[in-house]
Structure 1
Amino acid sequence: MASFPQRGSPLLVASLPPSGGRPRPRREADGLIRSRLKTGDLEPVDIQNPSGQNPSGQTIDGPRHGPAEGVPVSRLVVFLHGLGADGNDLISLAPLLSPLLPGTAFVSPHAPFPCDMAPMGRQWFSLQDYSPAAMHAGAVTATPVLNAFLDAELARHGIKDEQMALIGFSQGTMMALHAVLRRPRPCALLIGFSGALVRPELLAEEVVSRPPVFLVHGDADPVVPFPAMAAAESALNANQVPVRALARPGLGHGIDQEGLEFAAAALRQYLIADADAVSGGDGVSTS
């Protein structure tokens, strides 16, 4: 089993809203998600591609949040939404997390392709074919687009991979796991809700980076089977990728308060410690 690096100190998150502000569940495009934007509003926006690793030329962008005006950016959180949603879905989590993560910019790009199962939404790749080979091929196609976006965001803020965290939901988790573990430099951490590791048997030959990974999955998920989390955890451990997994009893395909608190504590412990170490800061107190 991979050893989990110790950075910062554990923090019990008590400042997330309890009941009235409970995050709403996110669901895939099985008729349960409807985009709040018109299709025309979701067209990709041109961004700089400093890495030159996106031969297709496809570009993406999305809504942003924080930090407060005049506060320099020292950390970046990138949300990757699920099939049939768009970047506006997960960016709604940013106001809940930003008070815990000073100096953090949040961005939630719209996936590059119109969703073939929910035309008002977006997709990272098609799920009309659920075969592992088809999903892997889709992730391979979308990864250069995502990497170009990540490189551009890091350049925009003048920070490094070690100061960036990715948070995925469902298909966004699949994309995050596929792309991040193959980037040249590890990010601070990756958090995946209700997702899966596509073609885990290929990881041994393809893994490059080994950032800490945090997985959360409801055991009543009707969209992405709950055992997908254990399968991902096993493959990550086998390839020396540090991983922690949280099962949520009774939760379907969504994000609940306990899962969000788990993610927030991980962000405080790993993103803040990493970013301060890279930037030479004095650290953020967790007392």
Structure 2
Amino acid sequence: MTAIDGPRLAPASGVARSLVVFLHGYGADGNDLIAIGREWRNALPDAAFVAPNAPERLPGAPMGRQWFPLTFRDPDERRRGVVAARPGLDAFLDAELASHGLGPDRLALVGFSQGTMMALHVGLRRAIPPAAILGYSGMLVSPEALKAEATGKPPILLIHGDRDEILPVDELFAAIDGLGAAEIPVQWHLSPGLGHGIDGEGLRQGAAFLTSALRVKKT
């Protein structure tokens, strides 16, 4: 198992009460998403941010990383990929939470594209569910297995562009259907005119969603 690591941002308040983990897309690395943490620090002052680099290098791309290989020819490769990549990511999440003295319920996963596949697969199967899962421009892998394998029903928000040329918008609706079949509620937003990316409205909605999900409940 290859250890993973990546760029971090300390909480603006100086004390971490939650952990936001960005999972980048195919061919990128942690630097691709950590800038979002800088945008969200005012909304989430008590959150520590980290954007791990996926464990595998992308062949032919010196700086690119992948959570698992994709040929786009084998319909089963995504299922095999998320299953194989899960233990390494789970171990990283546990270690990162421990380093901040946080429980597993103070975790939020934010994915983009292949990272959304990982966020949904791993987040819905952790022994203690995360506080939130936010997915941009992604898909739900192996929805048929979800009802039997899911360990909880964390808040989920999926955001997708209606002009996505890499993962068409049909993947958003397939994910909604798959989560619904497993009786897992999901919020969603469709960004008009957006391709395979994240727009300002998606960032705004993502920040509001995480702010609500990670709010520390007073006892």
Q: TM-score, normalised by structure 2?
A: 0.96
In the alignment, the residues of structure 2 paired with residue 162 and residue 230 of structure 1 have an alpha-carbon distance, to the nearest angstrom, of 27
Matched with 2:10 is: 66
Matched with 2:175 is: 232
1:120 to 63, 68, 76: 63
Matched with 1:202 is: 145
1:108-151 residue CA offsets vs partner (Å, 9 max, x unmatched): 00000001363421000011144331111011111000000000
1:174–1:195 CA contact under 8 A, matched in 2: yes
Which amino acid is the alignment partner of residue 256 of structure 1?
D
Q: Larger deviation: 89-98 or 111-120? A: 111-120
Matched with 2:37 is: 94
Q: Per-residue deviation at 1:203?
A: 1.0
2:197 to 230, 237, 254: 254
1:131 to 64, 67, 74: 74
**Percent same amino acid at aligned positions?**
51
Q: Which runs of 5+ in 2 are unaligned?
A: none
In the alignment, the residues of structure 2 paired with residue 264 and residue 183 of structure 1 have an alpha-carbon distance, to the nearest angstrom, of 23
Tell me: CA distance 1:249–1:150, structure 2 relative to 1, closer, same or farther (3 Å): same
1:186 aligns with 2:126: no
2:105 to 159, 162, 179: 162
Would you identify which runs of 4 or more consecutive aligned residues in structure 1 move more than 6 Å?
none
In the alignment, the residues of structure 2 paired with residue 85 and residue 180 of structure 1 have an alpha-carbon distance, to the nearest angstrom, of 21
1:259-278 residue CA offsets vs partner (Å, 9 max, x unmatched): 11110110111112xxx13x
In the alignment, the residues of structure 2 paired with residue 117 and residue 212 of structure 1 have an alpha-carbon distance, to the nearest angstrom, of 37
In the alignment, the residues of structure 1 paired with residue 204 and residue 60 of structure 2 have an alpha-carbon distance, to the nearest angstrom, of 31
Which amino acid is the alignment partner of residue 83 of structure 1?
Y
- The SS at the match of 1:120 is strand
Q: Per-residue deviation at 1:238?
A: 1.6
In the alignment, the residues of structure 2 paired with residue 108 and residue 130 of structure 1 have an alpha-carbon distance, to the nearest angstrom, of 29
Q: TM-score, normalised by structure 1?
A: 0.74
- The SS at the match of 1:228 is helix
- The SS at the match of 1:100 is coil
Q: Per-residue deviation at 1:221?
A: 0.4
Q: Which runs of 5+ in 1 are unaligned?
A: 1-55, 283-287
Q: RCO greater where, 1 or 2, for CA within 8 Å and sep 6 or more? A: 1
Q: Per-residue deviation at 1:103?
A: 1.4
1:83 aligns with 2:20: no
1:221 to 164, 182, 201: 164
Which amino acid is the alignment partner of residue 64 of structure 1?
R
In the alignment, the residues of structure 2 paired with residue 143 and residue 123 of structure 1 have an alpha-carbon distance, to the nearest angstrom, of 13
The structure number with the bigger radius of gyration is 1
In the alignment, the residues of structure 2 paired with residue 117 and residue 168 of structure 1 have an alpha-carbon distance, to the nearest angstrom, of 24
